Structure 1
Amino acid sequence: MNTPHSNQNPNPAPFRPENEDEIDLKVLLFNYLKFWPLILGCMLIGVLAAFFITRYTTPIYQVEATVVVADDKPALGTDLFESSGLLQGKNNIDNEIGILKSYTLAVEAINELTLNVSYFKEGFLRTTQIYGNVPVYVSVDWNHPQLVGGMLKLTAIGDNKFELDIAEEEFQVFNPADPFYKTQLTQNSLNKGVYTFGEPIQGENFKFTVNNTSALTGEEIFFTLRDVPSLALSFKNQINITPINKQASILTLTLETPIRRLGEDYINKLMDVYLERELKEKNRSSESTIRFIEQQLSGITDSLTFFENRLQTYRSENRIFNLSEEGSLVFERLQELEKEKSQSEISLKYYNTLLTYLKNDQLDGLIAPSLTGVTDPLLNALVANLSELQAERVRLTANFSDQTPVVREVRSKIQNTKKALQENVSSAIQNTNNLLVDLKRRVAIIEKEINALPETERKLLGIQRQFAINENIYIYLLQKRAEAEITKASNMPKNSVLDFAKAGSVPVAPKRTLNLLIGLILGMVLPIGFITIKDFLNTKIEDPKDLENQIKVPLIGMIGRNNAEDPKPVLNNPRSSVTEAFRNLRADMSYLSPKKQLTLLFTSTISGEGKTFISINMASVYSLMGKKTLLIGLDLRKPKIAQDFNTVNDKGMSTCLSTDMPWQQVVKPSGYDNLDIILSGPIPPNPAELLLQDKFAVIMKEIKEHYDVVILDCPPVGLVSETKELFAYSDVNFFVFRQGYSQKANLQILNNLVEKGGVSKMYGILNDVHIDRGYGYGYGYGYGYGGSYGYHDEVQLPWWKRALKRSKLS
């Protein structure tokens, strides 16, 4: 067997571009521009979708109101305890926000507005809620289990009848005995039917009455029932309350709702309930005082009436109407002492009552000391502060748990204030008892003087004394009750409404400009993202620059797509761009192998990449130079040359290698000057063994002696093994890739041939180039003339027309 000649690697510098790690923005841009109809269409669809969504989405309006949270004026003596931490600041914005957002206030507002029934009318593309002037009024008995959540459809039939049907079956059962936990509806007993306006519609899980207010015949109204707890939670979560700034004590209440009037009514009613609740808490002390005084008056009235009748009877029976001068002086002194004693006894009774309240933790019933005649400023300040703390605790516990820091802080302050108040009351009780002992002693001294008076006058003085005592107490209590009622009537909420609720004239949602912009951006991003993912997941070779960077050999040329059916464009269409590309490749051969006799080998990874097409046309381009050229088909398994030259594959290289037929007898004319062909011949059972015979080496040597150029069309090296042995017979080897067809993973086969297989003089060719990656050099990088120098008939189109053409091809 002949020893194959050795080849040396040429300097690949003229054919190997420098590695570029940076992203080529132009390439990236052209990669997307070839899909510009898709991107433009998606952007248009996105804008149209955003327009229709904006057009037919229910507009949302913002309702806004403001509340002023005022500071309480400090009670007398408050300054004594500010440093001790017993008293709290009154302007607690966070607490007021929590109260306004409380579930309790929401329930009270909803109950007063009767928002349990929502009415709707069906439009062309959306169902709109109506509020205020509704055609029918549904009266619901919430003491009976009710179907909530679903939607009912009412159709008026005349003035007295209507048809009721179920529009949405998402019902739950609301049970007033357990209002916070609804149950799923197992069987709906509310069936479609005709009912009469004004008559109750009742079942196991529903009871309501429909009244006609202005419904016309055939008019359709939808309505749904919602229980108060669910509505309250919904409004509680929807309303937003914030201070206008960190230093201000003005709160802004905002609510976003599709019905402006409903939002205004709810916020206004919420503010009314908020102020009424505050006023009730301020009046609680006055009401407790009035109840205490009325309890005392009920006993004094009877005693006063008894002694008044007894005095009149005694005067009539004894014919004595006035005391003597001495008796009058004694009576005046005694009356002053008795009056002071009565007031002290009332104060003592108040102290005992207050102490009982403190011990029993009945802080809601505290009575203001000033209303009962107690003028101690310290006691007044402590009671007032304790009442405020208790009211604050009640309001906070309605919204927060007992473990919340603010609630724990208030409870701590209540305990400290209550302890100080208990000590003060105990001291006051002891002082009052000492005063009463002294007053009783002084009264006893005067009573001794009374005993010196005549019996008749002495008895009159005794009766008149009892009457005067009860009269003074009665007048005193009446005075204090009037004062308490005046205080109650003059109480005003410390906070006030600055601006009542007002809805904006422009909806806050949907935002037309923003939605159109989002639609435009999504319409652009989605197809670009799709293209990017598609390219990322693409396993085919498309970018020539990527191919150059990944293979270990130079990319010597690129052959454009042959749009004609003729597999021999070099011979039949010499002015085409594909023919020009083969001429360029032929010109490069003078640098790759300056030898006069030239043997070229073409292979690929798999079948279908165009190695036979390139072999035929490379042989043709040499034959046109007048070079005596032979094209040899060595793909013994899947021959194609015979088909392309319209001849019969009856004999060929397999015939020579398997018989004694000389190679000269299997040479066939191609029909063109200077071009002969040796077909692969009939498919043998052992093609690999045939090509490895010494006879094949002899044949190749003889062929090279007779022909100037020999073209070897070899089997795909990635599929068969014999191709690796054929590299020894060639001067230059070409590995063919096909754009959009060859797999990127197959590049490693070529790299292994060069690095591990020791194959030299190997070059890459990219066939069927039709995907323009935006480099602007015809079919890639300028290895060919492209279409700008007039060497062939194809005209270079403007870039936008090329982009349109590429998008159609894609």
Structure 2
Amino acid sequence: MSQPNYPFLPDPFLPPQEEDIELKVVLFNYLKSWPFIVICTVVGLLAAFLFNRYTTPIYSVQSSVIVADEPQNLGADMFESVGLLPIKSNVENEIGILKSYTLAKQAIQELGLDVFFYTSDLLLISSQQYANLPVSVDVDWGHYQLVRGKLELEVLDANTFRITALDDEYELFDPADPFYKTKTKDLPTFSSQYEFGEKVETNSISFKVQNLKAKPGDILQFELIDNHSLALILQEKIAVAPINKQASILNISFETPVRKMGEDYLNKLMEVYLQRELDLKNQAAENTIRFIEDQLSGITDSLAYFEGRLERYRSENRIFNLSEEGSQIFLRLQELEKDKAQTEINLKYFQTLQTYLSNDELEDLVAPSITGNTDPLMQSLVTSLSELQAEKLRLSANFSAQTPAVREINNQIRNTKKALLENVNSSIRNTNTVLAEINTRIQRIEREINALPETERRLLGIQRKFTVNENIYLYLLQKRAESEILKASNMPKNAILDYARAGQIPVFPRKWLNLVLGLAGGLFFSIGFITIRDFLNTKIEDPKDLERQIKTPLIGMIGRNFSNDPKPVLNNPKSSVTESFRNIRADMSFLVPNQKQYTILFTSSFSGEGKTFASVNMASVYSLLGKKTLLMGLDLRKPKIAEEFGLSNDKGISTCLSTGTPWQEVVKKTKYDNLDVILSGPIPPNPAELLVQDRFSAIMEEIKSAYEVVIMDCPPVGLVSETKELFKYSDVNFFIFRQNFSYKSNIQVLNNLIEKGGATKIYAILNDVHIDKGYGFGYGYGYGYGHAGGYGYHEEIQLPWWKRALKRRKS
């Protein structure tokens, strides 16, 4: 059905620009809830303040180390192309080592971090204590222990104390399986008191407490943490990163509530890190010293034996020096014996090296320099293999065997070991050849010795053996001293740049940021709550929203009747509500132009929206104008007009329609001039059928002829059907909505009347307007219930208290 042709509203009644209205509505919608927004903001700030006040501050402790690369070994450039060089210590590997579990556990063990102490303030907020503790706890980790839960220690006097379990559940540490702990609620039974120095022992706990400076009445809480669990915790908390992409300086940071403990832990971690590196570096020197000690243990006995024989033989035979010929033979033989001893040491070294390589005992490799071997190839291979093995141990502490770095280093170890084993086998063959040649030359000289006198020959044999052992002994002593000097001179290639230092300002909580977040959170919560509340609101509040959705003009708005008088037009003519009805009356000249008599119908979607209130006061506003007005109560199911005027509903329109009584006999006069009323009368059993009779049409024709203005108070069109039949008797139809009472779905009832019900000349009125959505209640329409023109003209405009206060302040 086509839309009805509504009259064009003149310029004074046109709304302002849409964008301005929308922005004003949005801003005003939040502004009118400013107390809620302020409260939420204050709560957010208060929550942030309390969080800052009672949260344990966390400090950042930082240190740094320099990672330096080892210089290339002699001959290393020969193996770059074949992949036999070790993976040098790079930044990524060093980061992995510093964050390794093994390093963390060793640092914890050396610091003795297995007991954490706490104290509580008046608000029962715990704070960790580290230095200057009043007591010490010596834990027996070879016994079962309750960990990850607090115990309370109360000092009774200088010699005794009491222990209490504070938590309901603990973890049980088993020394036989330290990496796995079970939860337990089986708490130990403590004695009433213990003496300091006495062992506190039950089935699940064992430790001793020593009094350092505790006073009677002191209460401490402490927690036992095994090294494995603590190492895992601290391993995760350590952050290691280079200061930039190109630098080999690593920054180590650690966040902790106890600055001194953080500094001690980081310093100890760096010490352990450097000591580990030094131990790996000293391993080659230690292997060399051990090899020399094994050789010396046999040479020392031989040297003492031949020294004794030489002295006895000289004493018994009274011969002390060789002849000139014997001396020359001895010198030649001595040189050969020295070369033979050196060659045998080399051979023994090569055989030992071969054994180590065959048995994969790479940790025991000895440098070739110990035997005087200057072969750069072997020297480089042994050094490279030692470094590769050390690097593998370092990486294996933090990475699995399937890690690409570990797999790569294993591949290089295999290649280097293969090359070294081939070199060793070749060296053994060459050394055996040299040794055989030396033995041949010695045999020749021994034939010359046989030509000497027997006494001199025997002296030469004994002195020869003594000299050989003495030379070997002195040589080994020299090499041992060199190895010890080398070990003592070893230094870690990496170094501590900055020792640990804690920041003065905590990194958590960030007080100003938290205050800003609290402020923003309060604002966002309040604004979000208002937005969601409005979005989920099913009641009509926004006049502009109502106007957009209905398919007919919103002709007026009626403000809230704060006086609770059902007839404010008659009893309070200066009220803003009265002015609202006057404005609607004025608009009738545009709705039905060039017409002296009006029949106006009021209805709504359901009961309670104020159609009777609007009908009564609309009739009243016309009666005050001097027009002869009739108010008809056509709501036969739920009549209310009689109550409003203090009349008896003994007869009315139902009486006329059911008994044939003339309508003139049921008209009741009111105490107000020009205002008559026809009540609904007794409630009939069939109200819908009564109003559709032909007699009702005749009555309406007569009434329209007798009165200038007829106001029809009809039933809710959303609940009953007879109202649709009454539209044909009216000149103008008003559909009443009530702010914050009518549902938004009721808008569709009005739209259906227009589109499908055939209703024409129907307009909407918003009743009980009391929630200001930012339009000024009439600014866009000019209908009187507006703050813009209200001050000084209407008596009982009820402004919010804060607007009244502002008004008084301005005045």
* Fold equivalence (TM over 0.5): yes
Separation in 2, partners of 1:653, 1:551: 32
Correspondence 1:627 to 2:627: yes
Decide whether the 8 Å contact of 1:770 with 1:779 is kept in 2.
Answer: no
Aligned partner of 1:9 in structure 2 is 5
Q: After TM superposition, give the deviation of residue 804 of structure 1 in Å.
A: 8.5
- Aligned residue for 1:133, secondary structure, equals coil
Separation in 2, partners of 1:257, 1:664: 95
Separation in 2, partners of 1:369, 1:789: 109
Gap change, CA 1:192 and 1:529, over 3 Å in 2: farther
Aligned partner of 1:559 in structure 2 is 558
Q: How does 1:500-649 map to 2 (within 5 A)?
A: 500-594=499-593, 595-649=595-649
Aligned partner of 1:59 in structure 2 is 57
Aligned partner of 2:396 in structure 1 is 397
Correspondence 1:205 to 2:204: yes
Aligned partner of 2:353 in structure 1 is 354
- Aligned residue for 2:725, secondary structure, equals helix
Separation in 2, partners of 1:267, 1:306: 57
Task: Tell which deviates more after alignment, 259-268 or 499-508.
Answer: 499-508
TM-score, structure 1 as length reference: 0.95
Give the letter for the 1:684 counterpart.
P
Gap change, CA 1:505 and 1:789, over 3 Å in 2: closer
Gap change, CA 1:240 and 1:789, over 3 Å in 2: closer
Q: How does 1:244-393 map to 2 (within 5 A)?
A: 244-393=243-392
Separation in 2, partners of 1:313, 1:519: 100
Give the letter for the 2:77 counterpart.
D
Deviations 1:690-728 (A, max 9, x none): 111111111111111111111111100110111111111
Deviations 1:196-216 (A, max 9, x none): 111111111111111111111
**Which of the numbers 122, 125, 132 marks the counterpart of 1:124?**
122
Q: After TM superposition, give the deviation of residue 612 of structure 1 in Å.
A: 0.6
Q: After TM superposition, give the deviation of residue 448 of structure 1 in Å.
A: 2.4
Separation in 1, partners of 2:686, 2:799: 54
Separation in 2, partners of 1:796, 1:359: 106
Decide whether the 8 Å contact of 1:369 with 1:375 is kept in 2.
Answer: yes
Q: After TM superposition, give the deviation of residue 618 of structure 1 in Å.
A: 1.0
RMSD of aligned C-alpha atoms?
Answer: 2.2
Decide whether the 8 Å contact of 2:738 with 2:766 is kept in 1.
Answer: yes
Gap change, CA 1:409 and 1:781, over 3 Å in 2: farther
TM-score, structure 2 as length reference: 0.95
Decide whether the 8 Å contact of 1:560 with 1:779 is kept in 2.
Answer: no
Deviations 1:99-133 (A, max 9, x none): 11111111111111111111111212222221121
Separation in 1, partners of 2:782, 2:436: 124
- Aligned residue for 2:335, secondary structure, equals helix
Decide whether the 8 Å contact of 1:577 with 1:787 is kept in 2.
Answer: no
Query: Unaligned 5+ residue runs, structure 2?
Result: none
Q: After TM superposition, give the deviation of residue 269 of structure 1 in Å.
A: 0.9
Separation in 1, partners of 2:114, 2:375: 51
Decide whether the 8 Å contact of 1:393 with 1:407 is kept in 2.
Answer: yes
Gap change, CA 1:698 and 1:476, over 3 Å in 2: same
Q: How does 1:124-203 map to 2 (within 5 A)?
A: 124-125=122-123, 126-191=125-190, 193-203=192-202
Aligned partner of 2:430 in structure 1 is 431
Separation in 2, partners of 1:307, 1:482: 25
Correspondence 1:49 to 2:47: yes
Aligned partner of 1:692 in structure 2 is 692
Gap change, CA 1:734 and 1:16, over 3 Å in 2: farther
Give the letter for the 2:742 counterpart.
S
Decide whether the 8 Å contact of 1:58 with 1:128 is kept in 2.
Answer: yes
Correspondence 1:773 to 2:773: yes
Aligned partner of 2:477 in structure 1 is 478
**Which of the numbers 75, 99, 102 marks the counterpart of 2:100?**
102
Give the letter for the 1:670 counterpart.
T
Aligned partner of 2:25 in structure 1 is 27
Query: Unaligned 5+ residue runs, structure 1?
Result: 1-5
Separation in 2, partners of 1:166, 1:137: 18
Deviations 1:397-420 (A, max 9, x none): 111111112222222222222222
Q: After TM superposition, give the deviation of residue 59 of structure 1 in Å.
A: 1.8
Aligned partner of 2:786 in structure 1 is 786
Q: How does 1:740-751 map to 2 (within 5 A)?
A: 740-751=740-751
Gap change, CA 1:715 and 1:454, over 3 Å in 2: same
Separation in 1, partners of 2:673, 2:472: 146
- Aligned residue for 1:744, secondary structure, equals coil
Separation in 2, partners of 1:277, 1:184: 35
Q: After TM superposition, give the deviation of residue 185 of structure 1 in Å.
A: 1.6
Decide whether the 8 Å contact of 2:306 with 2:466 is kept in 1.
Answer: yes
Separation in 1, partners of 2:740, 2:307: 122
Aligned partner of 1:801 in structure 2 is 802
Aligned partner of 1:676 in structure 2 is 676
Aligned partner of 2:713 in structure 1 is 713
Separation in 2, partners of 1:118, 1:781: 74
Decide whether the 8 Å contact of 2:21 with 2:775 is kept in 1.
Answer: no
Aligned partner of 1:3 in structure 2 is none
Separation in 2, partners of 1:708, 1:464: 159
